Amino acid sequence: MIAAAIAIASCGSAQEPAQTPADGLISRLSALVDDGKIMYGHQDDLMYGHSWKLADDATEYVQSDVYAVCGKYPAVYGMDLGGIELDWPANLDKNIFDQMRASAVAHHERGGIVTFSWHPRNPLTGGDAWDVTSDQVVASILPGGEKHEYFMGWLENAADFLESIKTADGETVPVIWRPWHEHTGSWFWWGQKLCTTEQYKALWQMTYDYMVGERALDNLVWAYSPGAGELTSVEVFGERYPGDEIIDMVGFDCYCGTDYERYSNSMKNALDITKAFAEEHGKLMAITETGHEGLKNPKWWTEVLYPVMKDYPVSYVLTWRNACDDNMQHHFYAPFPGQESAEDFKAFAGLEDIVML
C-alpha cells in the first residue's frame, strides 16, 4: 500500500477554510513529487484486460492485468467519460458508468488516485470525437452558438457524473480531470486546426465556469495535456493554455512506435518543455498518456521508459488501455501474465521511486 507515502495532508486549523477534496489531492501529489516518487497509472485497469472483461453484474473490482503480473495495482487509475453526454449506460469502450463510478470509489479507498479524460462525440455533426469534418464545432457550442444550449446539457451530464463519485460516507472522491486533451494535433474536433486559440481557451473557460462556478464541484484537479508530437517550444506548449486560474497540472501524451530512440527523444523534448512550463507557472506535471502498443520490446519498462523519465518531477506516468475485444488484441499498453515484457514490468514496478498500490 502507498497510504503512508501519500497520506492526505492534515486539514487546516479552525480559522482556515476547510480543505476541498481537490486541494487535498494536490497536496498528496505535491508531497509525492517532493519525495522523488513517480506513480504508475493504467487506463481502464479494473474494467477489463487483454483477455477478460468485468461481468455486467460485478460489484467487486479486484481483477487487473497489472495486478496479475506484479501483485500490485497501479497507483493511478484512468477512465474516460465518452458517451456520458448522450446518457449512454456504458462509455465508448463499453465500460458501464455505474461500475466506473463504483470502481473509482474502490480504487480511492485502496489509497489510489483516479483520473478521467473525455472523448465526447461531435455535438454539431453527430459523429464521434474524431470527426473533424467541420471546423465550426467549437464555435457552435460557445455562448451564442447554435449548439450552445445543447452542449451545456453535455457538460451537465459530465458534471453530474464527476460529482456523484462518493464513498459510502458521502465523501466526494477527488479526481484529476483532463478534458480537451491532445489539442495541439488535429484529430479531435477541438484540435489545433479545428478552432482558433481564442475559441479553444473559451471552451475551457466555459467548462470551468460551469463545473466550478455554477455547479461548485470541489473535487476536480484540472489537467492540461497537449500532444507531444507538436511541442517544438515552451511557447507552443503555452499557446492555448487556459490559464493559471483554471489549470492545476500540466502534462502531455506521447506514444512509442518501434523506433525507441525516436520515442526517447520526443519524451525528453516534451519533458523538458513541460518541466520548464510547470516551474514557471507553479504547477504539477505528469506524463498523462504514454505506452508502446503491443509491448514488443521485452525490456521496454526498465530500458526505454524508466531511463527517460526518472530524473523529472513527474507525479505519474499513465499507460493506455489493454483492449479485450477480439479484433483489438494488439491494442495493449500494460503487460499481462506471459506477455514478453511482464518480467521487466515487475522489475519496473519494484523500483524504489515507482509507486504502485
Q: Is residue 80 a contact point for ligand BMA (CB under 6 A)?
A: yes
C-alpha cell recorded at residue 93: 469502450
Q: Is residue 65 a contact point for ligand BMA (CB under 6 A)?
A: no
Query: Of residues 321, 335, 339, 356, which one binds ligand BMA by CB under 6 A?
Result: 321
Using the minimum distance from each CB to ligand BMA, give the nearer residue, 295 or 354. Answer: 295
Q: Is residue 92 a contact point for ligand BMA (CB under 6 A)?
A: yes
* Pairing of β 48-49 and β 52-53: antiparallel
Using the minimum distance from each CB to ligand BMA, give the nearer residue, 6 or 162. Answer: 162
Using the minimum distance from each CB to ligand BMA, give the nearer residue, 89 or 144. Answer: 89
**Cβ at position 336, least distance to ligand BMA in Å:** 16
Number of H helices, E strands in the chain: 10, 11
Using the minimum distance from each CB to ligand BMA, give the nearer residue, 80 or 344. Answer: 80
Query: Of residues 65, 93, 230, 253, which one binds ligand BMA by CB under 6 A?
Result: 93
User: SS3 for 222?
Assistant: strand
Which residues ranging from 261 to 290 are in contact with ligand BMA (CB under 6 A)?
none
Give the count of residues interacting with ligand BMA (CB under 6 A). Answer: 6
Q: How many other CB atoms are found less than 10 A from the CB of residue 146? A: 12
Sign of the four-CA dihedral 330, 332, 336, 339: positive
Whether 228 and 182 have beta carbons less than 8 Å apart is answered as no
With cell 473557460, the residue in question is: 205
**Cβ at position 178, least distance to ligand BMA in Å:** 12
Using the minimum distance from each CB to ligand BMA, give the nearer residue, 93 or 248. Answer: 93
Q: Is residue 90 a contact point for ligand BMA (CB under 6 A)?
A: no
Whether 111 and 1 have beta carbons less than 8 Å apart is answered as yes
Which residues ranging from 110 to 139 are in contact with ligand BMA (CB under 6 A)?
119
Using the minimum distance from each CB to ligand BMA, give the nearer residue, 28 or 321. Answer: 321
Whether 80 and 117 have beta carbons less than 8 Å apart is answered as yes
**Cβ at position 320, least distance to ligand BMA in Å:** 6
Q: Give the residue closest to ligand BMA by C-beta.
A: 80
Q: Where are the beta strands (DSSP E) in the chain?
A: 38-43, 48-49, 52-53, 76-80, 113-117, 175-178, 220-224, 249-256, 284-292, 314-319, 354-355
Using the minimum distance from each CB to ligand BMA, give the nearer residue, 32 or 175. Answer: 175
**Cβ at position 331, least distance to ligand BMA in Å:** 6
**CA gap 62, 225 in Å, rounded:** 29
Q: Is residue 181 a contact point for ligand BMA (CB under 6 A)?
A: no
DSSP secondary structure string for all residues of 71-116:
SS-BSEEEEE-TTGGGT-SB-TTS-BHHHHHHHHHHHHHTT-EEEE
| Interface ranges with ligand BMA (CB under 6 A) | 80, 92-93, 119, 320-321
